[in-house]
Amino acid sequence: MAIVHFYEKPGCFNNTRQKQLLVAAGHMLIVHDLLQFPWADNRQRLRSFFADLPVPRWFNPSAPAIKNGEIDPAGASETQAIEWMVADPILIRRPLLEADGKRCAGFDAGNIDAWLGLAEAKPNAGLDLETCPKPHLSQACRS
């Protein structure tokens, strides 16, 4: 059992499923609102969740500014990416997870299982727990 800090977008369908998997595996969650967290005062902390991921993978591909082409993560430097995310936290790939001194962004079930354990609560193979299942809704990720 681990104590997991879980940074989510409240009401996000996938974040709810991810939390259920972690709790079913016996982990205790401390849930934070990713959109309200004071990232402007915590830029280094935000950067630490992405470790060695390439900059484009730091972003939530379902964010409206990305989907409509206002922001191109492929051309962003680390500094520019963090500034965009501080200004508009919906851009941050979620969830952000922290436990046992380690941080990560996104919910790759295999990686989470290896790190924290999902043994009794593994999702179905191939189940996508990151892509928004409601892309047809124009307001799905607005706030």
Summarize pLDDT for 85-104 with one digit per residue, the tens: 999 999 999 999 999 999 99
Tell me the C-alpha distance between 98 and 4, whole Å: 6
Residue 14 · residue 110 · CB < 8 Å = no
* Single-letter code of the amino acid located at 117: G
Task: For domain 3-115, give its CATH number from 3.60.10.10, 3.40.50.720, 3.40.30.10, 3.90.1170.10.
Answer: 3.40.30.10
pLDDT reported for residue 140: 52
Task: Give the residue extent of every domain in the chain.
Answer: 3-115
Asked if 104 is an active-site residue, the reply is no
Q: Select which of 12, 104, 132, 141 is catalytic.
A: 12
Q: What share of the chain is helix, strand, coil (3-state, %, to 5)?
A: 35, 15, 50
List pLDDT tens digits, range 50-85. 999 999 999 999 999 999 999 999 999 999 999 999
